[in-house]
Amino acid sequence: MPVSKAQTSQLGRYAGFAGVVAAAGIPLYIHLPAFLASRYGIALETLGSLLLILRLVDFAQDPALGWLLTRLRRHRDGAVLVASGILGSGMVGLFAVSAPIDPMVWVVACLILTFTGFSMLSILLYSDGVQRGAAIGHVRVATWREAGALIGITAACLLPFTLPGNGYGGFAIIFSAALVLSVWGMRGRWHVAERRAAPFGMLLRDPVVRRFLFLAFLNAAPVAVTSTLFVFFVEARLEMAAQTGLFLVLFFVAAAASMPVWRRLATRIGPRKALATGMSLAIASFIWAFTIQSGDATAFALICVASGVALGADMLLLPAMFSTYQARSGGDQALAFGFWNFVGKATLAISAGIVLPALAWFGFKATGPQDPMALDALVILYALVPCGLKAGALLVLLFAFREDVPDAYAIR
């Protein structure tokens, strides 16, 4: 359906806000383990336990935040302002300020602020998108939102490596300024949900919602593992630390560029088959990553492009399918995406709590020369484990989301 100039302007502001919020995810979920190990000398075992505990708190609070935001549905501007202040202060404290107290205490406090603010804004974005999509199409809204997110992510990949001095500190300052501008740009433009907050149990009694959440968990797990290990893989396995930012940019630019293709493919063959195609491409890229050797920049660049294209399908199609179902079922959208965030964050918590200690158990160190056994463990954890998880997600998509109930899983 065509959209007016006013609707296009609204979508642009919405996409810009999504881009700023998404930019916080790169340092939090990709660079954080290596950053903390390098800056404060935190051992991988300790770091894994710390991130496990904090991410357990992070993902456990998301359904409660969704419930709270539904209650605050008529005060969206105020909720966004508070959440942005929490996120911005946490990012500056974490990356731009040297710990004025015990580093572990400081890191924990800053991460709690950052995770909470990030979760609130993510839930607001996606629940707001359900209502926008009901009017102009869920795939269109998802395309704008995820394209904006990928632009923000790409900027976050580049800035820490290009800014002088403490690149992460400079990024945190720029991020906070951009967040202020995006909040100002979205003032008065948030949709107000008319539905009152629903009990947690009502949402989870819906079998289709349970299928979506289980699929989201399995599908996010491979990305959680590779995000946790990406910097270590590039530095230790490929021995190309200087190219870390470039590889990340290739990955996310490929994801952004692929979205129009996935949108057309979903229209032609259906979202389920299109998503299955993307998952299959991700599996192939994981297998390829297992085979590459040190210094093989060209092969890894192509892997980043292929896996980025696969990510484009994940980012666009699965949330759009879930949004469409929520709009049709009349569910509590903020609560639904609180649980959606919950399952995504659960994978990050499990990854940090299992993958990093497992890597350390095999003798891997955050810096310095590595034992061959430790490098082998890194490659298996980075490539083969995500491959198996993604294969499991593909099987769930094919067998739990049968096409005998097409209206439940369609998108528009």
Query: For the segment 278-306, what is each residue's pLDDT rounded down to a tens digit?
Result: 999 999 999 999 999 888 899 999 999 99
The HSE-up count of residue 164 (CA atoms within 13 Å, CB side) is 0
Sequence-distant (6+) residues with CB within 8 A of 369 are none
Residues 110 and 232: their CA atoms lie apart, in Å, by 23
The residue ranking higher by pLDDT, 89 or 42, is 89
State the average pLDDT for the chain: 82
Q: Vertex 21, ends 19 and 24: CA angle to 5°? A: 110
Tell me the per-residue pLDDT of 155-186, one tens digit each, with 9 for 90 and over. 887 788 788 777 888 889 999 999 999 999 88
Which pLDDT value is given to residue 408?
A: 43
More confident residue, 407 or 246: 246
| Burial bucket for residue 291 (CB in 10 Å: 0-12, 13-18, 19+) | exposed
Domain parsing of the chain, residue ranges: 8-190+198-409
Tokens of 287: 């297998």
Q: How far is CA 404 from CA 401, 407, 408, in A?
A: 8, 9, 9
Q: Residue 405: what pLDDT? A: 42
Q: What CATH number has the domain spanning 8-190+198-409?
A: 1.20.1250.20
Pairwise CA distance, residues 265 & 302, whole Å? 22
What is d(CA 333, CA 69) in angstroms, rounded to the nearest whole number? 10
Query: Distance of alpha carbon 279 from its chain centroid, rounded?
Result: 16
Tokens linked to 152: 């923000």
The structure tokens 């739990």 sit at: 400
Determine the residue type at 393. A
